[in-house]
Structure 1
Amino acid sequence: MWYVIHTMSGTEQKCMQQCMQYVDESDYVEMFVPHYISKKHFKKEWHDVEKTLFPGYLFVDTDRIEAVMEGLAKVHQYTRVLKDADVVSPITKEEQEFLSNMMDEHHIVRYSEGFLIGEKVCITSGPLKHYQGCIKTVDRHRRIAKLMIPVFGGMIPVEVGFGAVKRVSQEEFHQMKQQNIRKHQTSPRGKPGQVKVLSGAFEGMTGRLLCAMPERDEWMIELELFGVATKVSCQREEIEIL
C-alpha cells in the first residue's frame, strides 16, 4: 500500500534520504519521489530534465505504517504522513493504479508527444496517450501539459512533459489523413509490417509496424504525418496487420 509523506517543497530527495536512514528497511518495500521528464533548451539543444511530480511529497510502499512512523519521528526534517480525516491511511487502490499506469518502473512520467488539432490535443506517444481526458491546458513554449488527476482524495493539478510537434487546423488534419488513405488505396496491400489504424485520431490511415510489446499492450507504428515519419503508440485493438 502506498502512503504519502508530506515534507517541505524542494527538499523531497533530502527528506527521503533521512527517512531511509531512520526507518528500518524491513518495514517497507520502497520509498520514492515521483518525477516527470520535461524538456529544457540550453546549448542550442533540447535536453531531458527530471522534475518533481508532486512538490512537497514522497511515497512509501508499506503494510507496516506504524513502524515507519516510529522511524519518521527521529527524522530532523519536517515529515507528516497524510491522513483521511483523523486516520492515517494509504491512497486508494484506484489512485495507486492510476499513478502506477502513468509512471514507469522508476516512478517517472516519461515525455509525451503529439499534435494540437485546433483546440484538441492529439497524443501520438508517451503516457499521456491514455490520459488525454485529464489534460486541461498545453504550454507549447515550455513543452508542458497541465492535468487534473485523481489523487490524495481529490482532483490535483500537476504538470508533465508534453511536446506538441505541430499545430494544425481540423481541415489541415483531415486533408493529411485523406492523402494517406488515397495513397494506400492505390498501392499494393499486404506489404511486410504494414498496418491499418482502426480507431482513434488516425483511423483509416496505413503505416508500418515498428515493434510490439504485448505485455504492455503497446504497439509502436510509424505513420507519415505532414511529411514526417512519426512514431505512434497504439493498442492492439486499434490496428489491423495487413
Structure 2
Amino acid sequence: MWYIAHTTAGRELDAVDKCRKAIPEDIAAKVFSPIWQHAKKYEGTWHLDDDILFAGYIFIESDSDSKTLEKLLWRIPNVVSPVRIGGDFNALNKEEEQYLRQLMDEYNYIAMLYGYIVDNQLMIYKGPLSGWSDMVKRIDRHKRIADIEVYLWHQPKRVRVGLEIIDKITAQEYAKIKLQKLEISHE
C-alpha cells in the first residue's frame, strides 16, 4: 500500500533520504518522490530535465498498519507529517495506486511522452501514456508539457508530464508510422 506524507516543497529528496534511514525496511519497503521528465529550453537549445511530480509530498510503500507507520513518521520531526484524509492516515486506494504505478517505471520515474496530432486529436506514440491519450486534459506545445488528471483519495489532481508533439499528420500517415513500428519490433 502507498501512504503519502507531507514535507517542505523543494526538500522532497532530503525527506526521502531521512525516512529511509529512520524507518526499517520491513515497515517501509520503499520511500520515494515521483519524478517527471520534461523538455526545457535554456542556452538556446532544448534539454531533458527532471522535476518532482508532487511538490511537497513523498510516498511510502508499506504493508504495515497505518498507526505503526504514523508513529515512525512522527519520530522524524520537522521533516515529514502524515497526510490525513478524513482525520485518519490512510493509504491510497488500490485503483489510484495501480494507475500511478502504470505511469511510472520501477524507479518511480515518468518518462517524456511523444505524440502526434492526428486529424486534430492527440495520439501518444511513445511513453507511459501510450494508448491513453484521452487522459491528457491540456497541452502546452510551446513549453512541451501536458496536464493529466490523477486521483488521490477520490479527488482529482492535475499534474504535468513532458510531451513532445512530433508533428501534425493525417490518420493515414499515422497508420503507416504505427505499421513501421510494428515491423521494426518484429525484426
TM-score of the superposition, structure 2-length normalised?
Answer: 0.87
Distance in structure 1 (CA, Å) of the matches to 2:92 and 2:167: 37
Match of 1:90 in 2: 91
Q: Secondary structure at the match of 1:25?
A: coil
Shift in CA distance, 206/83, structure 1 to aligned 2, threshold 3 Å: same
Query: Any conservation in 2 of the 1:24–1:71 contact (CA below 8 Å)?
Result: no
Deviations 1:77-111 (A, max 9, x none): 24222233122211010011101111111111111
Q: Secondary structure at the match of 2:185?
A: strand
Match of 1:209 in 2: 183
Deviations 1:111-158 (A, max 9, x none): 111122354211111112133111111111111011112223211100
* AA matched with 2:184: L
Q: Secondary structure at the match of 1:129?
A: coil
Give 1:3 deviation, angstroms. 0.6
Give 1:72 deviation, angstroms. 1.5
Shift in CA distance, 129/206, structure 1 to aligned 2, threshold 3 Å: closer
| Unpaired stretches in structure 2, ≥5 consecutive residues | none
| CA RMSD, Structure 1 to Structure 2 (Å) | 2.3
Q: Secondary structure at the match of 2:98?
A: helix
Shift in CA distance, 141/134, structure 1 to aligned 2, threshold 3 Å: same
Distance in structure 1 (CA, Å) of the matches to 2:127 and 2:61: 25
Query: Any conservation in 1 of the 2:70–2:89 contact (CA below 8 Å)?
Result: no
Distance in structure 1 (CA, Å) of the matches to 2:156 and 2:102: 17
* AA matched with 1:202: A
Distance in structure 2 (CA, Å) of the matches to 1:76 and 1:204: 54
Q: Secondary structure at the match of 2:183?
A: strand
Deviations 1:48-70 (A, max 9, x none): 21111111111101122333322
* AA matched with 1:67: T
* AA matched with 2:45: E
* AA matched with 2:4: V
**Paired residue total:** 185
The farther-off stretch of 55-64 and 38-47 is: 38-47
Query: Any conservation in 1 of the 2:113–2:128 contact (CA below 8 Å)?
Result: yes
Match of 1:30 in 2: 30
Shift in CA distance, 204/164, structure 1 to aligned 2, threshold 3 Å: closer
Higher RCO (Cα < 8 Å, 6 or more apart): 2
Distance in structure 1 (CA, Å) of the matches to 2:12 and 2:95: 24
Match of 1:70 in 2: 71
Distance in structure 2 (CA, Å) of the matches to 1:100 and 1:62: 15
Give 1:75 deviation, angstroms. 1.5
Shift in CA distance, 9/155, structure 1 to aligned 2, threshold 3 Å: same
1:122 paired with 2:123, answer yes
Give 1:22 deviation, angstroms. 2.1
Give 1:164 deviation, angstroms. 0.6
The farther-off stretch of 119-128 and 91-100 is: 119-128
